[in-house]
Amino acid sequence: MAEYKLFYLLLGCTPPGRHTEQHDVFFGIGDELATLIPDIQRFWPEANGKIHIDAWREVAAVDGYRVRVEARADRDLQQEQLFFINLGGYLPGSFEEYHHKLITIAGSMGAAVQRAKQTAFYKDYNAAAKAGSHIDNKYGVDVDDVCNVEDILPGYQKKRFMLTLTKEEGLTEDAVGIGYLKLDQLRGGLV
């Protein structure tokens, strides 16, 4: 049986009628990145197949926890969960909203938000007197826009898989791939 992995992707495309490239994050489970191509295309149908990956990460270690993908089974609810947070912030005089995306392990959404408030991004871009750093779509940090990663997996994957988090010493931080990666490059086995 293949070893399944959790992948975290930053997708990009310029959908019809848009003037600038748009981005979204995608979490999916597969034995390799290329197996996610159909899920990626279903996730963003407006891209009409003209979608690319700007960043990718095989999620194996987060905050001192080993992240494993396992077949769905009955189990007691884990105390700790894997959360995705998208912070947005502004700099005075800059015509831009900056973003910082992070994944973190916490016992609740509230605890995940507290971790986000400790990041350098939150501190540096929190021009609270101006517009404020925020979790996207809200001013100020609001737990409504924090996502439990298991909740945002493709539907059939949520039914088939679960994430198991185990505290471990000496874990190596996950490598992050960056660059413009077309889906056709994945089909060719380049990544």
pLDDT of residue 130: 45
pLDDT at 182 exceeding the cut of 70: yes
Query: Do the beta carbons of residue 12 and residue 21 sit within 8 Å?
Result: yes
Per the structure, the complete domain to which residue 6 belongs is given by 1-59+174-190
161 or 78, greater pLDDT: 161
In the Cβ-directed half-sphere of 1, how many Cα atoms lie within 13 Å? 6
Determine the residue type at 75.
Answer: R
* CA pair distance 125, 34, nearest whole angstrom: 36
This prediction has a pTM of 0.87
pLDDT of residue 129: 38
Structure tokens at 40: 């990626």
* CA pair distance 35, 163, nearest whole angstrom: 18
Q: Are residues 11 and 103 in the same domain?
A: no
pLDDT band, residue 133 (cuts 50/70/90): low
Strand ranges (DSSP E) for 16-158? 22-30, 52-59, 61-62, 65-71, 81-89, 98-106, 134-135, 147-148
Determine the residue type at 183.
Answer: L
Q: Are residues 83 and 148 in the same domain?
A: yes
Q: Are residues 22 and 102 in the same domain?
A: no
pLDDT of residue 141: 35
pLDDT tens for 69-114 read 999 988 777 899 999 998 887 777 788 888 889 999 999 988 998 8
Q: Are residues 46 and 133 in the same domain?
A: no
Q: Are residues 72 and 142 in the same domain?
A: yes
Number of domains the chain is built from: 2
Q: Are residues 64 and 84 in the same domain?
A: yes
* CA pair distance 118, 8, nearest whole angstrom: 22
pLDDT at 67 exceeding the cut of 70: yes
pLDDT tens for 43-63 read 999 888 789 999 999 999 999
Q: For residue 10, what are the β-bridge partners?
A: 25, 55
67 or 87, greater pLDDT: 67
Q: Are residues 44 and 64 in the same domain?
A: no
The CATH number for 55's domain is 3.10.20.10
Determine the residue type at 45.
Answer: P
Query: Do the beta carbons of residue 105 and residue 165 sit within 8 Å?
Result: yes
